[in-house]
């Protein structure tokens, strides 16, 4: 019949769908590893790049996907799902999104398998690349490391969206019609990240028990693997040419890398993995591969910086190790607020080191009492207000009009004396300090020759002594002439 | 045949114009590029491999995927840079990515360029007063760009008209074969600046960035 698929086409279509499913899983998991992906374009086809896209194959991911598929293909009623979840260092976990590759009954009999379907699947993979960077879990995955990690889980069968909380959103990546059905790729993602705050977990209880309870009670009847999920922060030991993944890792090493919550350095992937292996001695490494949740019980937290987490609930992300550090931190800062205030106010303002007991007494009431206007009683004794030995600051003219011994403070009554605290000055311990110098410099005593009284007196003396001087000069006139000749 | 036209609107700060436009143009081109064709004697062809690259934006909380091709990136950046320079600090503009096919005509008529898909990105530039607003803008624009990427993907996955795969002699009428690592569909980028009154500027600025047969 015309509508039936030729055997070759059927075979091709099955192969396309199988490899499409595997590549879909690779794209999703790689997008949640927490680092930027970069692959090279190649003008000459290598033959192994399915759908003409350079998508690396992480062997463990392929293995997990094949295990989930178990030889079957996504079909009607049989969806392949990749569940992305977040797990904190304390063992709390939360599903973030579920990617579903489904098939429905709507067939496109006229479509050409080997060409059109293939190209459209390629376009769909490109769309998946773009959309995986847009859902909220992408940003979370880029920041994973110390406080939380991102896990993935692949399952086959019915789609389970119950763990995404209320109000989850769905985005459709795309559809490709084939002669046997329409392939649909979509993502359902959680919007309510406050889910974790409602969980009340006893911190001292073994985490293993909680994890097991969480997954054994599967809401649906179909099989759900006991493993909690695979870690998305797989790191190859060496990274060359911008992102090419290395070969198979020892599964033991992979488990070791899950257990320590070192912050993932952005560029130093090789260094990260080396640290994991070195720290193997400190971390509880299972003798044989166990489900990861079992190995999550004991965590060694190194001096991890307080990396900000993008999820809303800070409390839920604190580790038990950090609790100890918090106590340490609390002991540093003074517990008594009054004491801390005193400690603060004892350091009086900059450039001033006069211990003023009055200020300290007031510190409890007014933190900035040092800058408050002083009480009247203190002004009497304040040397700044009443300088003990400053010269009378008066204009020369005024002084000459009055007697010389006049008190300089008379004209000062009209002026408001302000505190004169020059910068960088100390107390008046030295005879001549900066403040004194300023005062004397600005108010110098008048010149003796400028005082009228003395000048008038000297003038009279000069006139009287003139004739005497003239007689002396005439007598010595020869000496003066000789002097002048010498100069010429 | 009708040309498919899609409009994407974004409102950004001046320093975000470049990255927002690049993100959208590259997302579109990712879907509209294939590997290099290698024709064989029997008339069949094999297709090269397209690599991809994640690009983090500096001024927007957003990461986009582009084709791993420095040549293509250079061309797009040049066009976007001209567009950004032409945009004033609080103006509006539109940059269009047009995919077209060439139809050979007999002499003396020149070849026709028939567009089959046009993406128009309308950019409105705003000025923000303080750092807090800028921080909010970073996140908001990131979310908005995410929505636009979803829009782009939605349109493309309708699998509407695409030019037929050409024979070897016709390949330059459909694809841009000048790049050495990837092969996007023939496209050109033009832009228009709207002045503050909302009317199109009297001289429409037109830049032909990609045209293999410049006549």
From A235, A195, A224, select the one nearest A88 (Cα to Cα): A195
B149 touches chain A (CB under 8 A): yes
Return the pLDDT at B111: 80
Query: Bigger pLDDT: A18 or A429?
Result: A18
Phi, psi of B185 (to 5 degrees): -65, 155
- pLDDT (average), residues A276-296: 36
Tell me how far apart the alpha carbons of residues A187 and A173 are, in angstroms, rounded to a whole number.
7
- pLDDT (average), residues B200-209: 46
* A311 touches A317 (CB < 8 A): yes
Tell me how far apart the alpha carbons of residues A298 and A256 are, in angstroms, rounded to a whole number.
12
pLDDT digits over B124-134, tens only? Answer: 999 888 999 99
What radius of gyration do chain A's Cα atoms show? 45
Return the pLDDT at B151: 95
* B94 touches B189 (CB < 8 A): no
Q: Which of A39, A43, A120 sits opposite B48 (nearest CB)?
A: A43
- pLDDT (average), residues A316-335: 38
What are the chain A neighbours of B54 within 8 Å (beta carbons)? 36-38, 133
pLDDT digits over B87-113, tens only? Answer: 877 789 999 999 999 988 777 777 888
Please give the full DSSP string across A163-198, using - where no structure is assigned.
GG-TT-EEEEEEEEEETTEEEEEEEEE---GGGGGG
Residues of A with CB under 8 A from a CB of B: 36-46, 49, 52-54, 115, 120, 122-124, 126-127, 129-131, 133-134, 138-139, 142, 171-177
Distance from CA of B30 to the nearest CA of A (A): 7
Return the pLDDT at A438: 76
Query: Bigger pLDDT: A310 or A423?
Result: A423
Q: Please, is A217 exposed, middle or buried when counting C-beta atoms within 10 Å of its C-beta (0-12, 13-18, 19+)?
A: exposed
The CB density around residue A281, as the number of other CB atoms within 10 Å, is: 8
| Listed range (A24-28, A160-164, A291-295, B5-9) with the worst mean pLDDT | A291-295
Distance from CA of residue A335 to its chain's centroid?
Answer: 27
pTM of full prediction above 0.90: no
Partner-chain contact B31 A120, CB within 8 Å = no
B90 touches chain A (CB under 8 A): no
What radius of gyration do chain B's Cα atoms show? 18
> Testing the interface with A: which of B147, B157, B174 to mutate, by most A Cβ within 10 A?
B157
CA distances from A234 to A247, A255, B84 (A): 12, 10, 40
Which segment, A264-278, A313-327, B140-154, B166-180, is predicted with the most confidence on average?
A: B140-154
Tell me how far apart the alpha carbons of residues A314 and A319 are, in angstroms, rounded to a whole number.
11
Structure tokens at A377: 């009683």
Torsion of CA A118, B50, B157, A135, to 10 degrees: 130
Q: Which of A120, A122, A138 sits opposite B63 (nearest CB)?
A: A138
- pLDDT (average), residues A144-173: 90
Cis omega (within 30 of 0) on the bond before A45?
A: no
Which segment, A60-74, A343-357, B105-119, is predicted with the most confidence on average?
A: A60-74
Task: Give the nearest chain A residue to B63 (CA atoms).
Answer: A133
Return the pLDDT at A367: 58
Query: Bigger pLDDT: A245 or A97?
Result: A97
- This model of the complex carries an ipTM of 0.90
Structure tokens at B9: 């609107």
* A149 touches A63 (CB < 8 A): no
Query: Bigger pLDDT: A390 or A319?
Result: A390
The yes-or-no verdict on residue A31 having pLDDT over 70 is yes
The yes-or-no verdict on residue A233 having pLDDT over 70 is no
| Listed range (A274-278, A342-346, B120-124, B197-201) with the worst mean pLDDT | A274-278
Tell me how far apart the alpha carbons of residues B126 and B14 are, in angstroms, rounded to a whole number.
7
Return the pLDDT at A301: 30
B159 touches chain A (CB under 8 A): yes
From B10, B17, B9, B12, select the one nearest B136 (Cα to Cα): B12
The yes-or-no verdict on residue B150 having pLDDT over 90 is yes
Return the pLDDT at A366: 57
Terminal-to-terminal C-alpha distance of chain A: 141
The CB density around residue A226, as the number of other CB atoms within 10 Å, is: 13
> Testing the interface with A: which of B23, B44, B50 to mutate, by most A Cβ within 10 A?
B50
* B156 touches B141 (CB < 8 A): no
pLDDT digits over A108-131, tens only? Answer: 888 887 889 999 999 999 999 999
């Amino acid at each position: 019949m015309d509508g039936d698929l030729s055997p070759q086409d059927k075979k091709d279509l099955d192969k396309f769908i199988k490899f499409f499913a595997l590549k879909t899983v690779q794209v999703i998991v790689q997008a949640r590893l927490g680092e930027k992906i970069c692959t090279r374009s190649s003008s000459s086809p290598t033959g192994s790049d399915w759908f003409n896209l350079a998508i690396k194959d992480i062997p463990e991911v392929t293995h997990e996907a094949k295990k989930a598929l178990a030889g079957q293909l996504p079909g009607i009623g049989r969806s392949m799902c990749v569940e992305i979840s977040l797990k904190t260092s304390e063992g709390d976990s939360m599903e973030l999104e579920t990617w579903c590759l489904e098939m429905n009954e709507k067939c496109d009999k006229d479509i050409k398998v080997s060409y059109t379907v293939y190209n459209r699947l390629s376009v769909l993979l490109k769309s998946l690349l773009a959309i995986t960077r847009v859902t909220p879990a992408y940003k979370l995955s880029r920041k994973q490391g110390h406080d939380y990690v991102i896990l993935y889980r692949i399952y086959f069968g019915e789609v389970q969206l119950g763990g995404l909380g209320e109000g989850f959103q769905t985005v459709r990546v795309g559809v490709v019609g084939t002669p046997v059905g329409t392939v649909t790729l979509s993502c359902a993602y959680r919007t309510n990240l406050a889910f974790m705050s409602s969980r009340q977990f006893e911190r001292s209880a073994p985490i293993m028990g909680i994890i097991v309870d969480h997954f054994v009670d599967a809401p649906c009847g179909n099989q759900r693997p006991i493993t909690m999920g695979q870690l998305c922060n797989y790191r190859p030991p060496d990274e060359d040419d911008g992102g090419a993944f290395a070969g198979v890792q020892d599964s033991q090493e992979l488990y070791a890398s899950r257990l320590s919550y070192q912050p993932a350095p952005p560029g130093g992937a090789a260094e990260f993995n080396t640290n994991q292996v070195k720290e193997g001695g400190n971390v509880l490494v299972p003798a044989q591969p166990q489900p990861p949740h079992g190995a999550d019980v004991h965590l060694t937290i190194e001096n991890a910086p307080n990396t900000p987490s993008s999820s809303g609930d800070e409390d839920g992300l604190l580790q038990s190790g950090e609790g100890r550090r918090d106590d340490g931190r609390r002991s540093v800062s003074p517990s008594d607020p009054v004491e801390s205030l005193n400690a603060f106010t004892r350091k009086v303002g900059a450039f001033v080191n006069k211990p003023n007991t009055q200020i300290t007494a007031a510190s409890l009431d007014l933190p900035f009492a040092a800058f408050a206007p002083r009480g009247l009683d203190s002004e009497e004794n304040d040397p700044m207000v009443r300088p003990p030995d400053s010269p009378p600051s008066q204009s020369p003219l005024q002084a000459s009009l009055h007697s010389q011994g006049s008190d300089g403070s008379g004209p000062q009554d009209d002026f408001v004396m302000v505190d004169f605290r020059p910068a960088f000055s100390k107390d008046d311990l030295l005879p001549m300090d900066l403040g004194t110098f300023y005062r004397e410099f600005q108010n110098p005593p008048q010149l003796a020759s400028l005082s009228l009284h003395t000048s008038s007196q000297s003038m009279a003396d000069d006139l009287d002594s003139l004739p005497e001087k003239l007689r002396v000069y005439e007598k010595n006139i020869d000496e003066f002439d000789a002097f002048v000749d010498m100069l010429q | 045949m009708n040309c498919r036209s899609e409009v994407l609107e974004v409102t950004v700060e001046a320093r975000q114009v470049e990255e927002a436009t690049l993100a959208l143009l590259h997302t579109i081109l990712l879907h509209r590029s294939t590997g290099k064709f290698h024709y064989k004697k029997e008339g069949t062809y094999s297709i090269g491999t397209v690599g991809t690259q994640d690009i983090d934006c500096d001024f927007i909380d957003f990461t986009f995927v582009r084709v791993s091709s420095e040549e293509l990136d250079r061309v797009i950046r040049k066009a976007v840079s001209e567009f950004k320079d032409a945009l004033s600090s609080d103006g509006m503009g539109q940059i269009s990515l047009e995919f077209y096919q060439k139809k050979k005509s007999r002499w003396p008529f020149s070849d026709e360029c028939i567009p089959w898909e046009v993406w128009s990105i309308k950019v409105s530039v705003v000025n923000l007063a303080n750092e807090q607003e800028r921080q909010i803008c970073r996140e908001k624009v990131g979310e908005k760009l995410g929505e636009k990427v979803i829009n782009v993907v939605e349109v493309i996955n309708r699998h509407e008209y695409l030019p037929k795969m050409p024979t070897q002699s016709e390949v330059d009428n459909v694809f841009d074969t000048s790049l050495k690592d990837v092969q996007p569909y023939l496209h050109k980028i033009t832009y228009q600046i709207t002045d503050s009154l909302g009317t199109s500027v009297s001289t429409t600025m037109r830049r032909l960035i990609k045209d293999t047969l410049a006549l």
